[in-house]
Amino acid sequence: MEGPTSTGIPHRKLAMWTFIGSECMLFGTLIATYMIYRGRNLVGPYPDELLNIPFITVTTFVLLMSSLMMVLALSAVQRGDAKGTRIWLFMTPLFGLIFLGGQYYEFNHFVHEGLPLSKNLFSSTFFVLTGTHGAHVAGGVLWLGTLWLRAMGGKLDARHTETVEIAGLYWHFVDVVWIVLFTLIYLLV
Amino acid sequence: MATAEAMARDHGGADHAGGTYAGGLWSWITTVDHKRIAILYFVTGFLFFLIAGIEGQLLRVQLARPDNRFLDPDLYNQLFTMHGTTMVFFAGMPLIVAFFNFVVPLQIGARDVAFPRLNAFSYWIFLFGGLFMYASVPLRAMPDGGWFAYMPLTNIEYSPGLGMDFYVLALLASGVGTIAGGVNFFVTILNMRAPGMTFMRMPLFTWMALIVSILILLAFPPFTVGLVFMMFDRMFGTHFFDAAAGADPVLWQHLFWVFGHPEVYILILPALGIVSDVIPAFSRKSLFGYPVVVFSGVLIAFLGFGVWVHHMFSVGLGPVVNAVFSGATMLIAIPTGIKIFNWIATMWGGQIRFTTPMLFAIGLVAMFTIGGLSGVMHSSPPSDLQQTDTYFVVAHFHYVLFGGLIFGLFSGFYYWFPKATGRLLSERLGKAHFWLTFVAFNLTFFPMHFSGLLGQPRRTFTYASGLGLDLFNLLSTIGAFLFTVAFVPLLLNLWRAWRRGEAAGPNPWDAPTLEWTTASPPPHYNFAVVPKVDRRDPLWHPYVAPGLGWAGELEPGGASPRLQPDHPPAPVHMPDPSYWPLVMAFGMGLMTVGALGSLALVLCGLAVTLVGLFGWAFEPPERGGH
């Protein structure tokens, strides 16, 4: 039923941009809370004793590379390149999964080092902020993985450019949020 | 279900009275039609409105005389929490969304909203949220921390039991539907306007719906985060609001009010939009200063994000902070005052018809002005410190929310009822309803100004005699029960319209906007021909636009032009019904219930949610249409 739209932007793409605007407020609130409570822990462990910057730099690099994969996937879909579509739509969520694996390892490591969720202000704000981001990554992995399965079944071609583009918008947004988190949590520790 | 063509044929003729209402229960459960979803929202929201009203009356019974023991303090706390939370989230907002759903697509010349299934999902998750919250009543675990739920009062130590968990989870669940609705209406209004419907030709109600969608999108996320923090503090022992761990409990107040103040405008701006359409229609004059009224709405919404600390003047954030927020708050009086003057100027020199919708609209102008004036009084911190937490504030926000929002909603109800049902309401019963409501409202809430200035505290279950409060409280209680009397003519009116209401015709009010070009009730596809628009208030200039597609013929003997043809010239493709939004909302509902203490149920709900999501994603929006 969707014909030409008043703005010229397809409904779904405009909706994704709108949703991303709303998500900025969500992450903005979480980040503001983290920053307000930074350095106000009354008990340890403290962030500088636990945060492993080299390790997270590697997983951050993997997540950023997944954005590159996403660009390549969209380009392949646009060109009607079925093989490239399958490869890059597989690689994008795979890199996302590697990032999530790193986060799982990090959370586990922190708990073993004596920082369960309920330990102090750092544990509360850190786990909820990065956990919310991780949940967004997981949602994106599920979405892109579904698109990959569609591509494997031969049901995703140049007609679905918009679908892949919108998934890409979400994925890049989640990556951009991580760049902010990486800077504020790890680099500024 | 019939194919789209068949539906277009079935409901395309003059006999389309059943278009919105034909079909059994299943057709309502799977509906994605914005008009039906509007009716679902309206009926559900109105039931919650009645329930919350009865809760308010119970509070008034307790306060009817000093040292009363009708309610014990615990139950009193629970009832005022349920009253406020229900009125804001499960009555006010769904009633507004009901009007968005019914009116916005019709006013912009669209056939539905941008995402019809997402629209159905928003309704179902709101319904589950409301039902979940009221599941606390039979469990004797109603939340008791106020609709504002201040930390640390609401942490697990001071509010043990499930009460505040019901509050947190119900609002998280229904908040998902609200944000989805915000996306939906934002995209609908931006993207689905009929040819020629530029922004500055949009009816004011649609304008306010656009602004409110933006407010929802920006204001609900901070509240969601605050609720998540509260949930984690209560359930998993985190320390977001725990002063003993170095946190600042005032953070909750900031997160709540940075949402809560825009929420006030989410509630009031649609009502101001309604009267901005109703007053011109019954003054037979286009809205005076249309662009200024539009930009006043934009300005109110913009400033609304910079005034939240005026709810927190007594926290003690310091004179500079209080002064800045006080100034910003006073600024809001300017665009609000501009709107009021523009409504008056619209009426000035117009051919005024005092119909029921017009009476409620004028009632709003007067009552909302009173509420605005008391608002300006406590925008000044020294004055506010005298008034905060007293009944003066209760008087203020009831003048704004009842005298503003509810009067506006009743105005819109009487205005669009003929469009939604095809039946006229009785003016005589409508006017009885208005005057009784007007008297009941003022009798209930005006004395609260006095009891408040005399120092009666809010949220306190009783008061001693001999403080000069007895008479004012008794008057308020009598007024609260007069609302029940005022309700009788409304019910009679609905019953009368049901049994023998006169047919309304497309444009019973001779109103100027697009929703009045189509049949009442509108056919499934709203417009047989997508209208073209070349000016504001197009129906008041129907003959100056030859060749614009919709320019109509004069009905024999009537001044009211019938602009839409009876049948669409070509088949209209409409989205098919779907049950997947309900499946997904049900899954999220299960997760919400499970969050009270059953991980298995949460996972089960997650599975159902994913099933619903995938069923939805892989279901073609129109099966039969091609």
- Confidence label for B545 from pLDDT (cuts 50, 70 and 90): very low
The arithmetic mean of pLDDT across residues A109-129, rounded, is 96
CB A137 within 8 A of CB A99: yes
Tokens of residue B600, six digits: 């298995």
- Confidence label for B220 from pLDDT (cuts 50, 70 and 90): very high
**Helical H runs in chain A?**
11-37, 47-50, 53-79, 82-112, 121-152, 161-181
Residues 6+ apart with CB under 8 A from B339: B272, B276, B293, B296, B297
User: What's the confidence (pLDDT) of residue B543?
Assistant: 52
Closest residue to A26, CB basis, from B183, B225, B617: B225
Model confidence pLDDT, tens digit, residues A59-115: 999 999 999 999 999 999 999 999 999 999 999 999 999 999 999 999 999 999 999
DSSP letter string, A28-41: HHHHHHHHHHTT--
Contact list, A35 vs chain B (CB under 8 Å): none
Give the separation between CA A28 and CA A177, rounded to whole angstroms.
10
Give the separation between CA B609 and CA B582, rounded to whole angstroms.
10
Determine the Cα angle at B327 with ends B297 and B406, to 5°. 40
Contact B217 A26 (CB under 8 A): no
Give the separation between CA A92 and CA A89, rounded to whole angstroms.
6
**Would you tell me how many other CB atoms lie within 10 Å of the CB of residue A79?**
12
CB B485 within 8 A of CB B475: no
Give the separation between CA B218 and CA B228, rounded to whole angstroms.
17
- Confidence label for A189 from pLDDT (cuts 50, 70 and 90): confident
CA distance B218 to chain A (A): 6
Q: Which amino acid would we find at residue B97?
A: V
Cis check: omega of the bond before A45, within 30 degrees of 0: yes
User: What's the confidence (pLDDT) of residue B282?
Assistant: 96
**Would you tell me how many other CB atoms lie within 10 Å of the CB of residue B306?**
16
Contact B225 A33 (CB under 8 A): yes
Judged by DSSP in three states, B457 sits in strand
B151 has a pLDDT exceeding 90: yes
Q: Measure CA B592 to chain center.
A: 24
Contact A33 B228 (CB under 8 A): no
Give the separation between CA A125 and CA A120, rounded to whole angstroms.
9
**Optimal mutation site among B178, B179, B218, B225, interface A, most CBs of chain A within 10 A:** B225
Could you tell me the sign of the dihedral formed by the alpha carbons of A72, A75, A77, A79, in that order? negative
The overall average pLDDT reported for chain B is 91
Contact A26 B218 (CB under 8 A): no
Contact A29 B191 (CB under 8 A): no
Of chain B, the end-to-end C-alpha distance in Å amounts to: 15
B548 has a pLDDT exceeding 90: no
The arithmetic mean of pLDDT across residues B587-605, rounded, is 95
**Would you tell me how many other CB atoms lie within 10 Å of the CB of residue B69?**
9
CA distance A98 to chain B (A): 23
Contact list, A37 vs chain B (CB under 8 Å): 246-247
Q: Which amino acid would we find at residue B580?
A: W
Give the separation between CA A112 and CA A106, rounded to whole angstroms.
10
Tokens 């930390």 label which residue?
A: B151
CB B176 within 8 A of CB B596: no
Using an 8 Å CB-CB cutoff, list residues of chain A that contact chain B: 1, 5-7, 9, 11, 14-15, 18-19, 21-23, 25-26, 28-30, 33, 36-37, 40-43, 117-118, 120-121, 123-125, 128, 132, 146
CA distance B388 to chain A (A): 27
Closest residue to A21, CB basis, from B114, B217, B228: B217
Query: Which one-letter DSSP state was computed for residue B380?
Result: S
- Confidence label for B2 from pLDDT (cuts 50, 70 and 90): very low
User: What's the confidence (pLDDT) of residue B130?
Assistant: 97
3-state secondary structure B472-528: HHHHHHHHHHHHHHHHHHHHHHHHHHHHHCCECCCCCCCCCCHHHHCCCCCCCCCCC
**Helical H runs in B246-318?**
250-283, 290-304
B555 has a pLDDT exceeding 50: no
CB B622 within 8 A of CB B577: no
Give the separation between CA A63 and CA A84, rounded to whole angstroms.
20
Contact list, B263 vs chain A (CB under 8 Å): none
Q: Is B571 left (phi over 0), alpha (psi -120 to 50) or beta?
A: beta
Determine the Cα angle at B219 with ends B213 and B220, to 5°. 90
Give the separation between CA B581 and CA B613, rounded to whole angstroms.
8
Contact A37 B573 (CB under 8 A): no
Tokens of residue A12, six digits: 């779904």
User: What's the confidence (pLDDT) of residue B15?
Assistant: 32
User: What's the confidence (pLDDT) of residue B621?
Assistant: 62
Count Cβ atoms within 10 A of the Cβ of residue B150 and give its class: 0-12 exposed, 13-18 middle, 19 or more buried.
middle
Closest residue to A124, CB basis, from B191, B217, B238: B238
User: What's the confidence (pLDDT) of residue B552?
Assistant: 46
> What are the phi and psi torsion angles at B205 (to 5°)?
-65, -40
User: What's the confidence (pLDDT) of residue B8?
Assistant: 40
Q: Which of A151-165, B218-232, B401-415 has the lowest mean pLDDT?
A: A151-165
Model confidence pLDDT, tens digit, residues B462-491: 999 999 999 999 999 999 999 999 999 999
- Confidence label for B566 from pLDDT (cuts 50, 70 and 90): confident
User: What's the confidence (pLDDT) of residue B571?
Assistant: 83
Contact list, B179 vs chain A (CB under 8 Å): 22
Closest residue to A14, CB basis, from B187, B219, B614: B187
CA distance B193 to chain A (A): 6
pTM: 0.93
Query: Which one-letter DSSP state was computed for residue B569?
Result: S
Tokens 């009203």 label which residue?
A: B53
Q: Measure CA B467 to chain center.
A: 38
Model confidence pLDDT, tens digit, residues B11-52: 333 333 346 777 788 999 999 999 999 999 999 999 999 999
Closest residue to B246, CB basis, from A42, A118, A128: A42
CA atoms within 13 A on the CB side of B534: 12
CB B311 within 8 A of CB B257: yes
**Would you tell me how many other CB atoms lie within 10 Å of the CB of residue A113?**
10
The number of residues making up chain B comes to 626
B626 has a pLDDT exceeding 50: no
CA distance B328 to chain A (A): 22
Give the separation between CA B598 and CA B118, rounded to whole angstroms.
28
User: What's the confidence (pLDDT) of residue B622?
Assistant: 60
Of chain A, the end-to-end C-alpha distance in Å amounts to: 52
The arithmetic mean of pLDDT across residues A163-186, rounded, is 97
CA distance A3 to chain B (A): 9
The overall average pLDDT reported for chain A is 95
The arithmetic mean of pLDDT across residues B289-300, rounded, is 97
User: What's the confidence (pLDDT) of residue B397?
Assistant: 96
Q: Between chain A and chain B, how many beta carbons pairs sit less than 8 Å apart?
A: 110
B66 has a pLDDT exceeding 60: yes
Tokens of residue B209, six digits: 């719906």
Give the separation between CA B569 and CA B555, rounded to whole angstroms.
20
| Closest-CA residue of chain B to A127 | B238
B305 has a pLDDT exceeding 60: yes
Contact A6 B239 (CB under 8 A): no
Contact list, A11 vs chain B (CB under 8 Å): 114-115, 187, 191
Contact B187 A21 (CB under 8 A): no
CA atoms within 13 A on the CB side of B36: 24
